[in-house]
Chain A
Amino acid sequence: MSDMSTRETVMPGTAPGEDLLIEVTGDGDFQTADMQLSIGPAHPATHGVFRIILEMDGERVVDAHPVIGYMHRGFEKLAEHRDYRQIMALVNRHDWLSGFSNEMGVALAVERMLEMEVPERAQWIRMLIAEWNRILNHLMFTGSFALELGAITPMFYAFREREDIQHMLESATGGRLHFTYNQVGGLKIDLPKGFLRRSAELSAITRARLQDYKDLVLGSDIFQARTVGIGPLSTDVALSYGVSGPTLQATGIPEDSRVTEPYLKYGEIDVPVPVGENGDSFDRFYCLLHRIEASLDVIDQIHDHMPSGPVNVKLPKQVKAPEGATYVRTENPLGQLGYWLESDGGRTPWRLKMRTPSFSNVAVMPHLLRGTLVPDAISVLGSVFFVVGDIDR
């Protein structure tokens, strides 16, 4: 069509500091422009205050611009004014679904700087709780991803399972989300009586119930129609964006810090890492669901290994990391979590830099969303698992 001209016009103020170029097609009275659809910051699919601006041609997404920072709470700065005990209570809140793993990362960093010998039992218990925490997290996303695709029931089932697990963890830690169970050098207090028995019981129950999710979600024809081939992520792109966790494993790489760079006692046990093939929404969900199973395997092994003994070491009144810096990476439920801890020898860190999995996972979103339909955009949004607090920190 030679009489159609294309030009670009600037739409102001859609993203902070960044005007969007909108392509206007057509002449005279018949001009069409792409529609901008602002999903979020308060939208049911973004579970949190995440915003993404979609430029759409009909229902097709031409481009996507994630707008992050609505939930920026300044964790890194706050940490510079907190001693290490207070940081434990702080960091379990940036990714509120992986509280224990976050605490553990900081504890590991400080312990490494102090060259502290953490009691064996504390390390095994840390692994046990961390794996349960991982299952809690994955159950949440199992439910929420299905919910985003319109299936309401898995969410309730997931919460049924979560409730049992949270109750058990509460009996040990006193918390349901923000456990605050770690301290430098181990754990605050040992497990209560009967915890390990309950843990073994729940492991069997959860394993049996996983079949429900496979029948209800994974095996459902409609679910497969909505996810197979949607938002495929290639290994190269995933690595270049720094994607990790189930999102990366879905592309076919069995990358898992627990295996590739074992911390705690993960080196002594066998950690299964499920991988996908195409890196599409289905594979991401497949990895997520099978990571629950893998964690249950790990938990069963931990039960067999649990030693007796103390769970913490005697600490000085004021824990001070010696001058220097260290980087600790752990496999958080959503991917790789890194803490860069730099200390000038004081009671607070001089700098605590966080490398959170959600941030990198969300960074790849525009790449995945281009060319999809709105419902597929939701499918991608739900399957690149993220927690908004973990993005914005």
Chain B
Amino acid sequence: MATTSPPGVGLLKGLGVTIKQMFKPAVTQQYPHVKPDLPPRTRGVIALMDENCTVCMLCSRECPDWCIYIDSHKETVPPAKEGGRARTRNVLDRFAIDFALCMYCGICVEVCPFDALFWSPEFEYSEYDIDKLLHEKGKLREWMDTVPPPPALDEGADAPGEVATAIEKANQELEAAKAKAAEEARAKEQGEQAPAAGDAAAAAPAEPEVKAGEIDQETFDRLIAEGKSERIARSKAKAAYVKKEKQRLKEQAEQQAAAAPAAEEPKVEAGEIDQETFDQLIAEGKSERMARAKAKAAYVKKQKAKLRAEAEQAGGGDAVEAPAAEGSGEAAAGEAAPSAAPRKADIEVEGAGEIDQETYDALIASGKSERIARSKAKAAWVRKKKQEQMDAEGDA
């Protein structure tokens, strides 16, 4: 099989290859002076959006290395509306990933149903001490700042699930809007003056947004003084700024909330079952497990109704429930409403999942990732809708 060129020619050709390469630029990347340009999908480090975590334990269970440690406790949240039932909520106490054990398979990120885990291409977290590779909740949260938006998909790809549903929704909405417009036009013809929905929306109080992108100068200076690189200092300072702002807003909200009379949530002991319901369900041929679960729910419902009725008799019905804390501090800050007004949470808003374009654009402009902007815009939309309805009721 050997080539049959005259002896020596092969040797000279070899010399030609190396000497030619000598005058071409080298491909060496001068790391750490020059940072590598890593694609957004790179599995560098796992970031945790702890607000999104519901302690479902899926990641921890699916992890092939069992390197995710989660601790939590249960908290009872007062019912969302009068006559509702108290919910128990898992509160995340500890979320830690041991990167000394992690095999970077990405299963945890993949299985997370609540978008709490993300991959970030950051990789510079090696340590001299293996213990330090155990990243706790705070550190994992910091990595969130480095998570890039997902790359656009190939032209031949199907649209991802969220986008596909969003498009479908948008189409439906368009239809609805058209129908509504037609209806309004008819209404106008009849000469009736209906309060324009748009005005109400404009009058809605603006959400005290924390503007991202700004940095906390104090933190920045301190980190620079500590000898951190500018890039790291900047990202940490940004995080610090956001944190501080949130803290401030939360405090404001708490002050407002403190001004309103707090109310005791009627406590109901869970775990008991409503025998009547249970027997009925069993008779209907349901499985015992299901019957038990439903009976429990029935018990809780009954108990609460009873307690509330008692409370109303005793206190003359002036008990006002504290607003339900929804997710992050921002939301809480935004929704601390005067006690006398009908609570926003009570108002049913249909069509969650739509986004508030204005908020969305503003967030995108302020440099938020598309994902974050979308979720916030959704929340903003819901808020606006509620405000509208509330205003409408107020007018009435």
Contacts and interface: CB of A to CB of B under 8 A. Distances in A.
Nearest to A164: B27
A193 B1 contact: no
Nearest to B20: A212
Interface string A83-125: 1011011100100000000000000000000000000010000
A310 interface: yes
A192 B153 contact: yes
Nearest to A78: B64
A193 B152 contact: yes
A90 B10 CA distance: 44
Given A170-B41, A215-B13, A221-B10, A309 B158 contact: yes
Interface in A244-285: 276-278, 282-283
Contacts of B13: 215-216, 219-220
A307 B43 CA distance: 28
A283 B3 CA distance: 11
A203 to B, nearest CB: 17
B151 A215 contact: no
Interface string A173-215: 1110010100000001111111110000000000000001001
A175 B43 contact: yes
Of listed A90, A215, A222, A306, residue having the most chain B CB within 10 A: A215
Contacts, number: 126
Contacts of A171: 39-41, 151
Contacts of A286: 1
B158 A188 contact: no
A89 B103 contact: yes
Nearest to A87: B64
B8 A221 contact: yes
B1 A180 contact: no
A188 B157 contact: no
Contacts of A180: 105-106
A219 B3 contact: yes
Interface string A225-254: 000100000000000000000000000000
Contact of A311 (B10, B41, B157): B157
Nearest to A83: B62
Contacts of A224: 2-3, 10
A2 interface: no
Contacts of A276: 1
State the main secondary structure of chain B at its contact with A.
Answer: loop
A320 B196 CA distance: 56
A39 B333 CA distance: 70
B154 to A, nearest CB: 4
A23 interface: no
A272 B80 CA distance: 67
A160 interface: yes
B114 interface: no
Contacts of B9: 219
Contact of B157 (A88, A93, A283, A308): A308
Contact of B156 (A121, A163, A215): A121
B110 interface: yes
Contacts of B103: 89, 93, 178
Contacts of A178: 103-105
B17 interface: yes
B5 interface: yes
B7 interface: yes
Interface string A322-350: 00000000000000000000000000000
A365 B272 CA distance: 71
Interface residues of B, number: 39
B157 A170 contact: no
B42 interface: yes
B39 A192 contact: yes
Contacts of A278: 1
A195 B154 contact: yes
A167 B1 contact: no
A173 B5 contact: no
A25 interface: no
Contacts of A222: 11
B153 A282 contact: no
A288 interface: no
A219 B154 contact: no
A118 B99 CA distance: 34
A277 B155 contact: no
Nearest to A171: B39
A89 B157 contact: no
A219 B1 CA distance: 11
B227 interface: no
Nearest to A276: B1
B14 interface: yes
Nearest to A286: B1
B203 interface: no
A90 B105 CA distance: 9
A153 interface: yes
Nearest to B39: A171
A225 B157 CA distance: 51
A194 B155 CA distance: 8
A221 B8 CA distance: 7
B345 interface: no
Contacts of A189: 41, 153
Interface string B179-192: 00000000000000
Given A89-B64, A222-B11, A224-B2, A174 B106 contact: yes
A355 interface: no
Contacts of B7: 221
10 contacts: A89-B107, A171-B39, A174-B42, A174-B106, A193-B152, A196-B156, A220-B13, A224-B2, A282-B1, A308-B155
Given A171-B41, A193-B152, A219-B5, 17 more contacts: A86-B62, A89-B107, A157-B21, A167-B39, A178-B105, A191-B157, A192-B39, A192-B152, A218-B3, A219-B3, A219-B9, A220-B10, A220-B14, A221-B11, A224-B2, A277-B1, A311-B157
